[in-house]
Structure 1
Amino acid sequence: MDILVYGYGKMASAMVEGWLRAGMDPARIIAFNPREKEVAEGVTLTTEVPERHFDAVLLGFKPHMLGDIAPEMQPCIGPETVVLSILAGLELDTIASAFPEAGGWVRFMPNLAVALGKSPNLLAARGLSDGQREDVTRLADMLGSAEWLGGEEHFDLATALSGSGPAFVYRFIDALSAAGQQLGLEQGLSDRLALGMVEGAVSLAAEAPYSPGELADRVASPGGMTREGMNVLDDDKALEKLLVSMLKATADKGSELAAKARGEG
């Protein structure tokens, strides 16, 4: 597929990096950005909106900019074009209304691990042919895994878990190190221990034949040190309740952004 990346921010550039890492020909990618910007080797950067249609157009700008930018993008959109939106909170109705000439519309929500080919990529679509759906699946699989949702009902919630999730994990690592420091560990040591522990634990969870819950119980022997710490997290489902509140607040923000895009707020 010939792909136009419209807006070369952090997420869009990470996706390009992931596609190239997976073997995509960089000559297939055109990156538009209003100002000069460093792009991956072999990728063409332009500061002028291309006057031709593309197989796929990736929307890589801020969600609130859609209304201003969509009109100037129309020369890039044709009946064969699939619009890929990574714009948080914007529903398919909004994307389709902005690009009515497109042949299909996809909400595509990755996280920054796309650069390493390790992101679960949420997908919901409208108007795709079987071939286009296969193409989109292939693009998502090159960045980690394609996770098709049946509809948009839970897209914001899934985005909160998968798309926003890395930030929550990073905050946990930081907090774990901070806790170690408050109890007496030197900062550098505490930082290394927290990060290295999480890296190893995640790698093991990805390869183990056990669920994360089962792994936790295998680590925590009855009456031992680990179990004592887990009792703090498990008491009255304290950790689970905290994370429910966290995901709900994140998903609700997505709904709020969607309402604003529809002019309801």
Structure 2
Amino acid sequence: MSLGGSGKAMPPGWFVGCGNMGGAMVAGWVRAGRDLSKLTAISPSGREVPGVTVATDYPDEHPDWVWLGHKPYQVEQVAERLAPKAKGAVILSILAGVECASLRRLFPDARAVVRLMPNLPVSHGEGVTGLYSNDADAALKAEISDVIGDLGLAPWGQAEADLTAISTVAGSGPAYVARFVAALAKQAEALGLDADTAHAIALQTVAGTGLMARSSGEGMADLAVRVASPGGSTQAGLDVLDAENGMDELVARTVAAARRRTEEMAAEARG
């Protein structure tokens, strides 16, 4: 879902703690042709982040944007040194569970505080990144949307709770889809296929269904009806998924558990 190579420059800034998710975002920007020459990844270990310059400490300059990608529990420790260097900067946080109020308390002199909840497919321009800010103006939001648009879908939440909802589904969702693909492949093996073929078939089926649905705009219920003939084998399987305690109930319990943990982390950050 990438918008294509922009060639536009990233605002001068730092990516503090550019780990797995931060690295996925950088990979997506590189893939989209974004100019990252003004972005520096801050990594005490000096671990390479392909596509950007890496520094082991904060440069002697004033960043326009500061991305927070370290572990959420480190936010107090990081802010103690970072906040004085980031006066007037836009704080863009991908820290799960750390709310805007907590970030504003830790970075009182920031120009604006923005929360982002990306998922791993941003590395291929096919991600979902939930966005929320209660103090960014329209011009800044448009600039952020342009940058994040390189990575896929980037909806703004009207309330911070919307961001939690987006991240609970989209942020955790790739893990759940991966489990479904693995389960489908396991059953293909049980029917006699070798492991590699079973995995390839399951993965292509899920990927192809998603691409077909997105390009056609067809609803999921309509797509299922089109695949399943009345009284046929597909319908027999759907009857299991649609039964009480079936797919809807399983997904509801899964998402509720993830949301509950997100709320616990937010409480820990506030405390």
- Give the TM-score of the pair, scaled to structure 2: 0.92
Paired residue type of 1:34:
P
Quote the residue 1:36 is aligned against.
Answer: 46
Verify: 1:132 aligned to 2:140, yes or no. Answer: yes
Write out aligned runs for 1:217-256 (5 A).
Answer: 217-236=225-244, 238-256=246-264
Quote the residue 1:198 is aligned against.
Answer: 206
Quote the residue 1:76 is aligned against.
Answer: 85
Structure-1 separation of matches of 2:113 and 2:259: 21
SS in 1 for 2:168: helix
SS in 2 for 1:153: helix
C-alpha deviations, 1:60-110, integer Å up to 9, x for none?
Answer: 10000101111111243122x111110011111111111111010111011
Gaps of 5+ in 2: 1-10
Paired residue type of 1:85:
S
SS in 1 for 2:158: coil
SS in 2 for 1:177: helix
Structure-1 separation of matches of 2:217 and 2:153: 19
Quote the residue 1:166 is aligned against.
Answer: 174
SS in 2 for 1:106: strand
Structure-1 separation of matches of 2:98 and 2:36: 28
Deviates more, 1:137-146 or 1:181-190: 181-190
SS in 1 for 2:155: strand
Quote the residue 2:128 is aligned against.
Answer: 120
Structure-2 separation of matches of 1:175 and 1:98: 43
CA apart distance, 1:169: 0.3
CA apart distance, 1:186: 2.5
Quote the residue 1:23 is aligned against.
Answer: 33
Quote the residue 2:24 is aligned against.
Answer: 14
Instruction: Report how many residues are paired.
Output: 261
Instruction: Indicate if the aligned counterparts of 2:23 and 2:49 stay in contact, CA closer than 8 A.
Output: yes
Q: Of 176, 197, 202, which aligns to 1:189?
A: 197
Structure-2 separation of matches of 1:131 and 1:209: 31
- Give the TM-score of the pair, scaled to structure 1: 0.94
Of all paired residues, the percent bearing the same amino acid is: 36
Query: Which one scores higher on RCO, CA 8 angstroms, separation ≥ 6?
Result: 2
Instruction: Indicate if the aligned counterparts of 2:83 and 2:106 stay in contact, CA closer than 8 A.
Output: no
Q: Of 66, 72, 84, which aligns to 1:57?
A: 66
Structure-1 separation of matches of 2:162 and 2:133: 13
| RMSD (Å), alpha carbons | 1.4
Instruction: Indicate if the aligned counterparts of 1:51 and 1:75 stay in contact, CA closer than 8 A.
Output: no
CA apart distance, 1:156: 2.1
Verify: 1:149 aligned to 2:154, yes or no. Answer: no
Structure-2 separation of matches of 1:48 and 1:14: 21
Instruction: Indicate if the aligned counterparts of 1:89 and 1:258 stay in contact, CA closer than 8 A.
Output: yes
Structure-1 separation of matches of 2:268 and 2:78: 17
SS in 1 for 2:60: coil
CA apart distance, 1:237: 6.0
